[in-house]
Chain A
Amino acid sequence: MLQRIGLVAARLLVAAFVILTAGYCLLAYIPFTYHQVHLGALLPWLSAFARFHPYFYWPAFMAAVVTLPSLRNSRTRVLSVLFVAVYAAIGAWLLFRPLLARLENDAQSLLWCVLALTPLLWLALIDWLAQASQLKWAAPQNDTRRLFKACMLSAIFAWLLSVIIDVTRYVILRNVGFTGRQWAMLLSWSLVCHLVVFMAIFLIANFTGAIAGIISQKPSLHVFFYAAMAVVFLAVALKVVVFAPLSFFGELATLTALAASLALVCFLLGMSARLYRQQEGPLESPLALLLMPARFLGSLSRVAQTIILLAGSALGAYLLARASTMDWEYLFQKLLVLAIWAGLFAFFHIAYPSRRKGSGDIMMIAAALIVCLYIGFIALRPRLAGAASDAVASLNEVEDEYGNYDVSFRLARGILSPPLAAAADDSLYPFLVSNTNIPRSVRTDPVEINLAGKLNATAGPKPNIFMVVIDSLRRDYLSPYNSSVSFTPGIDAFARESTVVQNAFTRYTGTGLSEPSIWTGALSLHKQYITPFYPMNSLQKLLEFEQYQQFITKDEILSIILGPTKLLTELDAGRPTMSCELCRSLNELQTRITESRTAGHPIFAYTQPQNIHISVINREGRSVPPGESYPGFDAPYASRIKAMDKCFGDFINFLKSSGLYDNSIVILTADHGDSLGEHGLWGHAYNVVPEVVRVPLIVHLPASMQSFSLNQHAKEDQETQAAPAFLTDITPSLYYLLGHRPIEQNNIFGRPLFTAIPDEARRYLRSSYLVASSYGPVYGLLENSGHSLYVADAVEYTDHLYQWKDDGSPGSGVITPEIRADRQQKIRDAVNEVNGFYGFK
């Protein structure tokens, strides 16, 4: 027994190492993950793994070596010796030329990803050759009933588990606004979806067995049919659940998914064969071999089985809850759900075999009927709706929201939705996919962005400019935007002396494109990044022209988009992006300013602290200082804002005491907002939702520029006041304030927020504005003066309509076919316009 536990543990270590290595290579191949993970160290533990990869290699290698079959086995001797020789050589080579540390964002990384999987296949081959002849099969028996029972019980238990998790979340969160009737409908619908998925699995598994039976009489060959089925299941899961959220689409994604699934399933098959012992009796079916690691369950008492089931379920629920706050577009939660489903199926197949005899024909017919009824209902649903299309659309919205809390339901519903229809040629979604995350291999030359034509010298001294862009800062956690907030007195005092832009938005819901768009003052091509970037960097061009002394926290994005300059002093030099925090940056800035006051240049400072980035908060264990509480707010997030507020207030006091404040433009904003549990969402992965799109924007102007202040309450300027402001408007505003006018007027560039004459601003206004996710094919259209957001989500193949009132409370919005057609065309046109501007057809 111990020997087998040791085998499993060692092989799991090998598999974990291989999967991490392959995963890291894949993330290097995908443009945005390369910038976020490899350059930006978004996941420090993964960066550490990459750094020490050549050293971690050896324990994994030893684990593989000690679990190789005996060299006395003539069938595997050569392969085993070769395995040791080849992988020892690779290990030695890695010590001198570490692979992961020098990966680039190119096709080679994808090749390394696939090559990294080969040890699993090699081990699988050795294991199978060593053990295949030892496998003994029981007398033939029909396993249709057993399969059906396992699937049925798994469906019901998976549903029950999801219900328990939802109810727990409901009790804790209390912000799920479903009515009793909606709860009943949703829970019933969730049961149906789970049943249909497992009945489909039953039909496919039964079909595989029947085909195998026709083609061959040898059970040892039947195993490969089941393995092939498992490969297909896993490949689909990888492509849809893992690759799609990483914005990895197309044929390469399919091939990579197939390669990874093949390696993993073969590895499992080989290990299962090694775990088999003849003295424990013959194998009842080929499926039993694939489930061998769980076979011990069959020999336990009912009490022990129940304890394991409950303990496993509790662990699954706990992990799901943990994953929900740190997930990336449900990736980890869906993987966990898949693992739970697989675990439940294995448990019920082994622990609750059907004792009844019979062919199981009725069960097959029943399963087929259940699946067909569901498909028919889904197909007819929009047509049945007909006159009541609003009600159906509303129901879809409720189901979508429920899916945010019940990921098991979300996954089941997603599997059963017909995605091909949405992916048809006339659909917007494939268009968005093909125009998003444009790979580096697609050459796009930089475009000259001149917001105000050729720059000419303007009269008068230049103001200092201080830009504090707090990553993931929400507007409703600041007192100038929300009177319930009492923990931001420093920002509140600053706001009283400044212009609080009430209707501010980001164009991009992730730092990857949002930060560059602040610097360009324009919409960006969905590519990370066009290089050289300098011709598009309007803000830097302005700073260079006006000879600003620049103090900048150069994160991994600014390292790419900023051109070389002698006037730059780096803040937070050498510090990883995710470790940049406001207090330290502002303290350093104070010191630097004090040291360089005699230089004679106006000062520009830019910092983008990460204190409240969701990955940082999670890394810090979502801790809250003792004694602090924030009723009605997310405490880990609010407590960090409180700490930042103190530092920001101190910095403003420093500017005042050093005489800089009255001649400075000070801008406090965020590159995007964040979800903090709204509708079950956390963070800002692909979410184009109101709380992520809306940002705070507070601007203090020097006394000499007060005439440019936007009086938001002036009645004669209602139209301008109601118009949305964007982060892309900041740089054009600086151009304008520094005398570089007029600002070019088009749909790509931002506009000046402050103008000498209110009418001047009016001509820049549009009826709708494109917003987008920085990392995936999710685009939105902001309309109705920033009170309505239509979102086309090509990751989930669905659209959403959000509407809200002035106070932020949600309004009602239903997507009719007309609205859908109109908004989708507008999004398509807007994306085309951006592409056209950047010469990408």
Chain B
Amino acid sequence: MKPEPNPRNGSHNDRRTTLLAIGLPLLVALFYLGVVFEPWARSASLPKRLTPEESAAMWNDCKSLFQQGKYQDALADALKLHETYPGNHIYIEMAADIYDHLGRYADEAEYWEQYFDRAPNPVTACPQIGQAYWKQGKEKEAISAFERCLARDPENSDSIFFLAHALELSGQTARAGELYQRGLKISPDYTDLQLGLARICLRQAKLPQAKDLALRALRKSPENVDALLVAGLVYSREDNLPKAKQYLKQGVKLSDGYLDFHFALARIAEKENNFAEAIRHYDRILKDQPDNQTALSRRQALAGKP
């Protein structure tokens, strides 16, 4: 049988022509790929972005680790997700929560700030953003954060409370009192606001208002230790010591570690010249806070007394 002729074996038998026909397109292709892949190769050296599927798997992993208390491992996932999707507030929130559990409050505050900038509902970062600063001892930044929270949602009773409380603790009692009052207009039954205002009234010697607010809170929650403390202090200031002791002892019974009760009871005991009782309370304070200077000095002063 006669073989079929090869239509390309004419001048393609010429090795040079065949070489050109094959080599030139390959060279062009190489050149093209070099041009195309050069930027690609540069980008390949950058951190690889996660695909949506990879992100979903990593997010599930991160939540699971968080629930198991493996915060360090969860943090690695959360940060990788955040790096890939820097605008996604959910990953920022997770990172901030993990930092809180790890006690890394500076990082926590930084992430809540990012959350505040990028989340569709930034108020969700409240009050954690302020608390993260507070835990670092950054009183001014904490107050500023609580103020920003309140500016975002002026009618939010929680935001009002946290700002007022921070102001109260930093000694800005007048502004704190105004805020507590503003909050109570919006939410009259908000116990923490009632007690905050009660404390301010107590400091301003407005004892009837303070007592009224504390007792209102107690009627609603008889075991509210803050309310018991305020009530005890009010009665103590009114020299109604039995009534004061009744509330304060109830507080100790409910929360022995709440040292303000022991301070109040120690002072009442001193007033009543019951030094043994006073020493017992100061000792209780020093057990938890051995360096508490007030308790130490009072304890020493009372040491020689019968």
Residues on A lying within 8 angstroms of B by beta carbon are 137-144, 200, 203-204, 206-207, 209-214, 217-220, 222, 284-286, 358-361, 364-365, 367-368, 371-372, 375-376, 378-379, 418, 420-421, 424-427, 431, 434-435, 744-749, 828-830, 832-833, 835-837, 840-841
Q: A378-B35, A744-B121 are known contacts. Are A286 and B88 too (CB-CB below 8 A)?
A: no
* Nearest 4 Cβ contacts at the A-B interface: A829-B87, A746-B120, A210-B21, A213-B8
Flag if A832 contacts B4 (CB, 8 Å).
no
Flag if B52 contacts A434 (CB, 8 Å).
yes
CB B199 to nearest CB in A, in angstroms, measures: 31
Closest to A218 in B: B4
For residue B68, CB closer than 8 A to chain A, the reply is: no
Q: In the assembled complex, which residues on chain A have CB atoms less than 8 Å from the CB atom of B48?
A: 425
Contacting residue for B25 out of A204, A744, A749, A841, CB 8 A: A204
Q: In the assembled complex, which residues on chain B have CB atoms less than 8 Å from the CB atom of A746?
A: 119-121
For residue B80, CB closer than 8 A to chain A, the reply is: no
| Residue in B31, B40, B49, B152 whose Cβ sees the most chain A Cβ within 10 Å | B40
Give Cα A717–Cα B26 distance, bound, in whole angstroms. 66
Closest to B21 in A: A210
Give Cα A217–Cα B18 distance, bound, in whole angstroms. 14
Flag if B14 contacts A359 (CB, 8 Å).
yes
Give Cα A746–Cα B48 distance, bound, in whole angstroms. 30
Chain B interface size, as a band, is 35 or more
For residue B20, CB closer than 8 A to chain A, the reply is: yes
Flag if A285 contacts B87 (CB, 8 Å).
no
Give Cα A792–Cα B302 distance, bound, in whole angstroms. 78
Flag if A210 contacts B49 (CB, 8 Å).
no
Flag if B90 contacts A836 (CB, 8 Å).
yes
A–B pairs, 22, beta carbons within 8 Å: A138-B7, A139-B5, A141-B7, A141-B10, A144-B11, A206-B25, A207-B26, A210-B18, A210-B21, A210-B22, A284-B7, A359-B14, A372-B28, A375-B28, A375-B32, A376-B31, A744-B121, A746-B120, A748-B120, A833-B88, A833-B120, A841-B55
Flag if A832 contacts B88 (CB, 8 Å).
yes
Give Cα A219–Cα B44 distance, bound, in whole angstroms. 44
Flag if B44 contacts A424 (CB, 8 Å).
yes
Closest to A370 in B: B28
CB A820 to nearest CB in B, in angstroms, measures: 14
Contacting residue for B36 out of A421, A431, A841, CB 8 A: A421
CB B56 to nearest CB in A, in angstroms, measures: 5
Per DSSP, chain A at the interface is helix
Contacting residue for B10 out of A140, A204, A206, A222, CB 8 A: A140
Contacting residue for B59 out of A368, A421, A748, A841, CB 8 A: A841
CB B22 to nearest CB in A, in angstroms, measures: 5
Closest to A418 in B: B36
Flag if B24 contacts A203 (CB, 8 Å).
yes
Q: In the assembled complex, which residues on chain A have CB atoms less than 8 Å from the CB atom of B32?
A: 371, 375, 418
Q: A284-B7, A361-B17, A426-B43 are known contacts. Are A835 and B120 too (CB-CB below 8 A)?
A: no
Give Cα A696–Cα B84 distance, bound, in whole angstroms. 38
Flag if B20 contacts A364 (CB, 8 Å).
yes
For residue B171, CB closer than 8 A to chain A, the reply is: no
For residue B85, CB closer than 8 A to chain A, the reply is: yes
Give Cα A207–Cα B14 distance, bound, in whole angstroms. 15
CB B138 to nearest CB in A, in angstroms, measures: 27
Q: In the assembled complex, which residues on chain B have CB atoms less than 8 Å from the CB atom of A426?
A: 43, 46, 49
Flag if B52 contacts A841 (CB, 8 Å).
yes
For residue B9, CB closer than 8 A to chain A, the reply is: yes
| Residue in A210, A218, A418, A833 whose Cβ sees the most chain B Cβ within 10 Å | A210
Closest to A426 in B: B43
Closest to B50 in A: A841
Known: A210-B8, A841-B81. 9 other contacts (CB 8 A): A140-B6, A207-B21, A212-B8, A218-B3, A359-B11, A364-B24, A418-B35, A745-B152, A749-B120
Q: A203-B28, A364-B20, A426-B49 are known contacts. Are A830 and B87 too (CB-CB below 8 A)?
A: yes
Flag if B12 contacts A142 (CB, 8 Å).
yes
Flag if A217 contacts B118 (CB, 8 Å).
no
Closest to B56 in A: A841
Give Cα A791–Cα B209 distance, bound, in whole angstroms. 62
